[in-house]
Amino acid sequence: MEKEILLTTPASYQDRGGMLTLFPKRLQWSVQGENSPTIDTAISEIKNFFVGKQNLAEAKFRIKCTDNNNQEITHTFTLNSQSAWKDLETIKAQVKNKGQGRSAAPSPAPQRSAATSPVHYKSAAPSPASGGSSPAVWNNNKNGATTNGRNGTLPLRKVPTAKEISLRKNLLMRDKKLADQHRMLVVEQKCIAEEEFWELRKNLLRDQDTRTSQQKGRSSTMPNLRPVTEEGGEAKINITPQLINEIFEEYPRVKIAYDKNVPNRISEEAFWKRYVHSRFNDRNRGTTSVANDDIFDKCWAETEDDLNQEREHGRKRLKISNLRDLSATSEDHMEIDFAPDITMRAGQGKILSLLRRNNRHGERILETSCEKSRRYMEAVAQQQKKEIYTEDIVMDDLIEEESPSTYKLDITDQREYFASQASEIDNDIVMVDADQSSIKHQSSIEVLSKFRDSFRSWNPNLTKSLFPRKVEIPIPNLVTKECNEMIEDKQNRMRESKPKIENLPQKIEKEINVIQLMGNEFLRHFWASVDSNVKEKMEKNKRMIEQLRSILLKIDHISELQPDDDNKQGPTLPNGASNISINTIQKGQRLDKEQRSVAINGKRLKVSSRASSGSSEQVSGNILDSSDSPSIDSEWKDALIQAQQARYFI
């Protein structure tokens, strides 16, 4: 960790006094007396570094860097110490140095990759172990850890832990959409607290945690030195320490040859040059190299021998498990004569050895991934001079299956079950009948027999007109009118159901997005806290209701559409939280209805504009026959509909 402080000097920032601290990789500034830094930036993030003029009284410098949201910020610091200019030089040197790599820093930063290996060719690619692939993420991690570590003796901030913070940061960096939401809701609008935001997204954090804590296994590619053709047509080969390790592991003979030869007989560079040119390196590619090389020819032959001899010598680490040894059951097959396979003999043919090599490589990779399980077990078993067979000889198919413990869907009594409603219907009938008072005292049997009797002698006369004659408006006209209205509604709804968000003016679109986002978030919190008896949640619920109300107001504001007054009369606050929720729901439903009524009016959107002091104008289609508010054009109309829709969703 970078606990090493290079420099601490009093410095002011935005006319506030504080301490500037320079770490090998970070620059921090904190207000006087506070522990957590107000400004904390990785030196690698600093893009520009401006130093004030030397002849001025104050030693000023300005840095331009990117913050967590990838936005550029400029900070200007003024150094106040005696040795201000000297300090400034130190900072400047440190900032400049970051360009040439970490090694140039006054105090050596941890170097894990290149320096550890004796070989240092043109190792342009960072080795995977150094974790340099995503510097931003790592820096943030360290940031969280550092602040925490530094505060070791001081009281820690309650929640969240450094780990949580880094998880959140990583998650936000990975998920752009979430980051947008977070920025909008927490940073810009400040409508909910950071903790509340994450409270609802615990599952995401958990996923992220598992994702990051998973370790990457070993790469399955065979170590091979391949030339990379560069721009100038030159072929280059990058040899990284990682690769060298892999080669040594894969071909122990190369390791032996290396140990024998390298510092004494030939240089390291020469060794690898010869390796690249030798047949050995090309062995897996089927091509033959030209040059003969005594070291690697020997290696080659020995490696082949190793592979081929393996069987005869017995692998040193284990005897072949009886479960896999084909000869183990030979006693059971006395009558059949097994001859050893001559085609698969070791040392014959190129393809065979290639196959064998690949198999061996595959085995090694598998072993590294499940090192602890199988190999460990086998090793233990071998130590005890016996193998564990039970696990392998039990056949799943032969085990009697336990019937899964399921519940039978046993509906006890459907009638009783719905009894409450059935009785309501019965009551309903009685009540209606009582209202009609004509069949009040008739029992159902009377009604039924009357019904039957009236049908007995009935024969439909289809020649008689079906419509009653003596009516003011003829029935067919009424029906046609009714049907026309229904069809018109339907058509209007179809036409207006999908206003396109692209048509909105940009400003309004943005506003609507924000409101929609906020509304959704509040609703999430609302439903997460509704119906709870925990005190905090109840309070939160109340808060959310207020917030939702304000959202509704905002929607009204956006659309400039003010429906009836009762919309604004919020329900009087009752005591219980559940009551409130019911009220809000009712309110929501009422709003829905209002919204519908507007939508049903279809083409006629009633708009009361503020300029005309409450007088309403009729907007028909896209034409507006009012001179009061000339800005309402077709785009505006779409915006209104969009706003309506937004409310509908909320």
When asked if residue 53 is in the footprint of other proteins (CB under 8 A), the reply is: no
Binding-site member from 73, 448, 573, 611 for other proteins (CB under 8 A): 448
Chain centre distance of CA 365: 30
Q: Which stretch binds other proteins (CB under 8 A): 256-264, 396-404, 443-451, 629-637?
A: 443-451
Tokens representing residue 189 in the block: 């609008």
Q: Which residues pair with 73 in a beta bridge?
A: 65
Binding-site member from 425, 472, 565, 649 for other proteins (CB under 8 A): 425
Q: If you search the block for the tokens 């039970």, which residue do you land on?
A: 390
When asked if residue 405 is in the footprint of other proteins (CB under 8 A), the reply is: no
When asked if residue 613 is in the footprint of other proteins (CB under 8 A), the reply is: no
Closest CA to 123 of 261, 225, 222, 218: 225
When asked if residue 456 is in the footprint of other proteins (CB under 8 A), the reply is: yes
**Closest to other proteins by CB, 181 or 584:** 584
Q: Cα–Cα distance between 643 and 649 in angstroms, integer?
A: 10
Q: Which of residues 509-548 bind other proteins (CB under 8 A)?
A: 527, 530-534, 537
Q: Which stretch binds other proteins (CB under 8 A): 170-178, 298-306, 439-447, 605-613?
A: 439-447
Q: Which of residues 552-591 bind other proteins (CB under 8 A)?
A: 581, 585
Q: Which residues pair with 229 in a beta bridge?
A: 235
Chain centre distance of CA 170: 9
Residues 6 or more apart from 299 whose CB is under 8 A from it? 251, 253, 254, 257, 280
Phi-psi region of 560 (alpha: psi -120 to 50; beta: other; left: phi over 0): left
Q: Cα–Cα distance between 41 and 19 in angstroms, integer?
A: 14
CB of 483 to other proteins, least distance (A): 5
**Closest to other proteins by CB, 510 or 596:** 596
When asked if residue 418 is in the footprint of other proteins (CB under 8 A), the reply is: yes
Binding-site member from 270, 432, 434, 553 for other proteins (CB under 8 A): 432
Q: If you search the block for the tokens 């009935």, which residue do you land on?
A: 458
Q: Which stretch binds other proteins (CB under 8 A): 320-328, 346-354, 435-443, 517-525?
A: 435-443
62: part of which helix (H) or strand (E)?
A: strand 59-66
Q: What is the DSSP secondary-structure string of 399-442?
A: SPPPPP---------HHHHTHHHHHHHHHHHHHHHHHH-SSSS-
Question: Which amino acid is it at 425?
Answer: I
Q: Which of residues 460-489 bind other proteins (CB under 8 A)?
A: 460-462, 464, 466-468, 471, 475-476, 478-480, 482-483, 486-487
Q: Is the dihedral of CA 145, 150, 153, 154 positive or negative?
A: negative
Q: Which stretch binds other proteins (CB under 8 A): 82-90, 127-135, 252-260, 405-413?
A: 405-413
Q: Which residues pair with 8 in a beta bridge?
A: 21
Q: Which stretch binds other proteins (CB under 8 A): 164-172, 409-417, 613-621, 626-634?
A: 409-417
Q: Is the dihedral of CA 495, 497, 501, 504 positive or negative?
A: positive
CB of 6 to other proteins, least distance (A): 50
When asked if residue 452 is in the footprint of other proteins (CB under 8 A), the reply is: yes
Write the interaction track for other proteins spanning residues 105-144; mark x where CB under 8 A is met and - where it is not. ----------------------------------------
When asked if residue 389 is in the footprint of other proteins (CB under 8 A), the reply is: no
Binding-site member from 420, 506, 569, 627 for other proteins (CB under 8 A): 420
When asked if residue 490 is in the footprint of other proteins (CB under 8 A), the reply is: yes
Binding-site member from 367, 428, 566, 628 for other proteins (CB under 8 A): 428
Binding-site member from 54, 215, 287, 454 for other proteins (CB under 8 A): 454
Q: Cα–Cα distance between 270 and 266 in angstroms, integer?
A: 6
Binding-site member from 216, 415, 470, 507 for other proteins (CB under 8 A): 415
CB of 446 to other proteins, least distance (A): 10
CB of 23 to other proteins, least distance (A): 43
Closest CA to 61 of 36, 29, 33, 32: 29
| Dihedral Cα 22, 25, 31, 34, nearest 10 deg | -110
Tokens representing residue 339 in the block: 């001859």
Q: Which residues pair with 56 in a beta bridge?
A: none
Q: If you search the block for the tokens 């002849």, which residue do you land on?
A: 55
Q: Cα–Cα distance between 28 and 20 in angstroms, integer?
A: 6
Which residues lie near other proteins (CB under 8 A)?
407-412, 414-415, 417-418, 420-422, 424-426, 428-429, 432-433, 436, 438-439, 444-445, 447-452, 454-456, 458-462, 464, 466-468, 471, 475-476, 478-480, 482-483, 486-487, 490-491, 493-494, 527, 530-534, 537, 581, 585
